Structure formats: C-alpha cells, structure tokens
A and B are shown apart, each in its own frame.
Chain A
C-alpha cells in the first residue's frame, strides 16, 4: 500500500499545498498543544484539544506529499495515512485511533470516560507526532517549512 494506492481507492484526493498552508496547520497545532494544558479544563475537553493538535500534524504530512483525505472517514484515513508518510509504527496508529474513538463518545452519561492519565498520554503522543512530522518535512519537503 502507498498513498498512490489510496488515491486509486478514492480515499485521498490530489491536493496542491503551499508553505502558508503547512505553516497554518503547524501553528494551529502548536496553539492546541498549548491550550490543551489549560488548568481547570475537564479531561474530556483537554483530550479533545490535544487530539485536534495531533490530527492537524497528521494532516500536514499527506498535504506536503500532495494529497488530502476525502470527507468520508476523514479522521480515520488521516491517522492511518501516517504509516505511509512518516512511517509511523502500528502502535502509535492504534493508540491515536483509540483516542479518535474515545473522543466520539461525549454524551452526558459518559462525560467521565477520559482519565487524567489518558490526557497525559494523548498530549505526549501529540508532542511526539509534532516532532516526527517536522523532522519528516525537513528531510522530504524542506521548502514547505518557513525556518
């Protein structure tokens, strides 16, 4: 499997990115990584913000390679595509996908399904993903980074 195969399957569409778009994705991810640690927020909400940061980082990678995920199962595809962009290991993908599902469970009765420890794990994951994506961009698409 490769991103080209995904394109043939209709899971991705071709996309022309720009330095500005990559910069915007990274800066919003940074903002979210900062905001998710705001004291007083509920664990559910912190997890949501940290997850958003990770998803933006994960979106920047296929965008740099000339693709974006279609709307159908968008988050799922973006997460799975990390195997073909930054060569993320199966464990990271399983963990991030687990958080994607957890984030979808947000009705009142289950408002406490997120523990503080899970928030910490999600934040560490998002920070590690940020470092991996930037390293990958620097190696493969240095012109897209404003450094």
Chain B
C-alpha cells in the first residue's frame, strides 16, 4: 500500500491554539514566532506595525523590539514608504528558504488559517474556528468551520482561505457576518450564533474581550 503524505506537518491542537505545544513554540517566544509566521508565510507581501501587532495579539512595544532585532539581523527588511514603515521577509537573508520552509512545516491549523486571513486583519473584528475542530472531536477529514465578523465579503474570505484549504487538505467553511448584522442577530437570540458563541472556539483574529465588546455594545445601544 502506498501512503501519500500531506504537504507539511500539521501539529495536533490541544486546547486553544495559544496553548498548543509545537516545534515552533519550543524554539521561539510568542512574539518572534508570530512575526516570523506572518512575514515568512506571506514572503511576497509587506506589513506595517499595526497589522503585525493585531495578527500576533501582542503589544506594539514588544513587536517593535522584535522587529528591530530581526531587521538588524537581516532576517526581515524594513522599508519606509511615505509616512508608513513596512516590514517584509528578506529574500536576501541566507536562511530565507529554510525559514520559509520551517514556518510552513511547524504551523498548526490555527496558524495556517490566521496567516491566510492576515491580509484582511484590518477589516476583521473577530475570526474564530468553531465546531468539531474547535472542541477537539474532529476526524482527520472533518471540515473546518469558521465564523468571521467584519467589513469583508464572503468572496474575499474564500479567496484568502483557498490556499489554506489546499495546505490542510480539508474543506474550510466560512460564514461571514458584517458587525451590524452580527450584533442585531445576537440581540434577537439567533440560534446558530448563540450555539457558536457558547461552544468551544479557537480565536484566529480578536479574542474573547473583543467579542464581548462587540456583543455588549449592541446590548448597551
């Protein structure tokens, strides 16, 4: 019997993605891992500080220090365009290829999806995995269900998730709600959204505080 191995290695997720134990977590701290994961999984794109901070869920200060170290070592490239400073993976770095491969091989489902959605990070308030993958009862072939709340279209989201679907070898099913519709349906006790919010979740963008703010704001209106 021939066994076909999947591209990359998916490290099983235990608990939430931030608690997941993986090779990358053993080697690097949270901030460095997040910066390398974002910049080296989108090596042909550049990002500014706010996007990187939002992606990593870390404060601007910690990110700035990390960017400074990595730029000084030539691992990432810093460019100034107008008033904005951009950071990008440095293709001239002697270990560029190795780092890219390292990031691809050590990413878990959450990392892969978070990275896929990262170009939309400014427009997304909350993105989370729910359903069987989130509560750890999935089979290898289970679909990955994602809820996205933001000023983005379904088209933009499926377009970004397409390559991640190939990498994971699993179907990804996103549901996209603009914040206003999300708030209004929560306030009306929408069955599906209530079930998602009360069940297990893996946050990809935003966190429970942001979700609470989004929901409470509506209740306070």
Contacts and interface: CB of A to CB of B under 8 A. Distances in A.
A100 to B, nearest CB: 11
B195 A117 contact: no
Contacts of B174: 98
Interface of B: 145, 153-155, 158-159, 162, 171, 173-178, 181-182, 185, 190-193, 195
A21 B84 CA distance: 57
A71 interface: no
A121 B173 contact: no
A95 interface: yes
A113 B173 contact: yes
A125 to B, nearest CB: 8
Secondary structure of the B contact surface, majority rule: helix
A111 B192 CA distance: 7
Interface of A: 91, 94-95, 97-99, 101-102, 105, 109-118, 121
Contacts of A115: 175-178, 181-182
A94 B155 contact: yes
A102 B178 CA distance: 17
B192 A98 contact: no
Contact of B192 (A91, A110, A118, A121): A110
A115 B151 CA distance: 13
Nearest to A90: B159
Given A94-B155, A98-B154, A113-B192, A118 B171 contact: no
Given A94-B158, A95-B154, A98-B154, A117 B173 contact: no
Contacts of B173: 101-102, 105, 113
Which one of A99, A101, A118, A121 has the highest number of Cβ atoms from chain B below 10 Å of its Cβ?
A118
